[in-house]
């Protein structure tokens, strides 16, 4: 009778441990999805600001049509991307196009002084900060999730049902280089 009780207790402990670890993995996976949705929302916010920015710049720098077309095309690519990875690649291209647009804007003092342009530039800068923070949060979630499914005993419970996730990395290798400062 004592052996039967011991077996039942061990089985209950094993089942509770299994359920706890499984639920933890599901929770971590869902946190990754939520973190991606946060990135996606910020990318959408940024995408919504861009047409206003382009229209504002058009009034002052209409002959910079290639720059404006590049921003518009990059925005469209972000909107049409079907996977998170494709969306982030398109997002990197959009970041480059926006950087070029702001560099062009430096040549137009009346544009830089325009209140609407300043407000849009400020909102885009704020959104970029939010995107950066959301990426860091997503990468933290991915790290925690991947650790949960790749370490014992989570790897046994995760089996082939849960696959490792990919965090975001810097796509442009030039961004990894420290800038050269000369005086």
Q: Is the pTM of this model over 0.85?
A: no
147 to 36, 136, 143, 173, 175: CA distances (angstroms): 18, 16, 6, 27, 28
Show Cβ contacts of residue 32 under 8 Å, excluding neighbours closer than 6 positions: 138, 141, 142, 145, 165
What are the structural domain ranges in the chain?
Answer: 50-158
Predicted confidence at residue 178, as pLDDT, reads 47
Q: Is the pLDDT score of 171 beyond 70?
A: no
Residue carrying structure tokens 């939520």: 34
Residues of 147-156 as b/e, b for ≥16 C-beta within 10 angstroms?
A: ebbeeeebee
Predicted confidence at residue 183, as pLDDT, reads 34
> What percentage of the chain has pLDDT greater than the value 90?
56
Predicted confidence at residue 62, as pLDDT, reads 73
How much is the average pLDDT of 95-114?
85
Averaged pLDDT score across all residues of the chain: 88
């Amino acid at each position: 009778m004592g052996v039967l009780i011991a077996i039942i207790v061990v089985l209950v402990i094993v089942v509770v441990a299994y359920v706890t670890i499984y639920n933890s993995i599901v929770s971590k996976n869902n946190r990754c999805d939520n973190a991606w949705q946060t990135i996606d929302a910020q990318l959408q916010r940024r995408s919504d600001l861009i047409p206003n920015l382009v229209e504002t710049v058009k009034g002052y720098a209409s002959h910079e049509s290639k720059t404006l077309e590049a921003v518009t095309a990059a925005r469209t690519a972000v909107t049409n991307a079907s996977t998170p990875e494709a969306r982030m690649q398109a997002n990197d291209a959009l970041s480059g196009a926006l950087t070029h647009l702001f560099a062009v804007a430096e040549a137009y003092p009346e544009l830089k002084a325009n209140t609407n342009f300043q407000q849009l530039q400020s909102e885009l800068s704020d959104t970029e900060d939010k995107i950066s923070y959301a990426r860091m949060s997503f990468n933290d979630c991915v790290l925690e999730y991947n650790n949960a499914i790749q370490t014992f005993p989570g790897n046994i419970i995760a089996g082939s049902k849960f696959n490792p996730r990919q965090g975001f990395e810097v796509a442009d290798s030039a961004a990894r280089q420290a800038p050269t400062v000369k005086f």
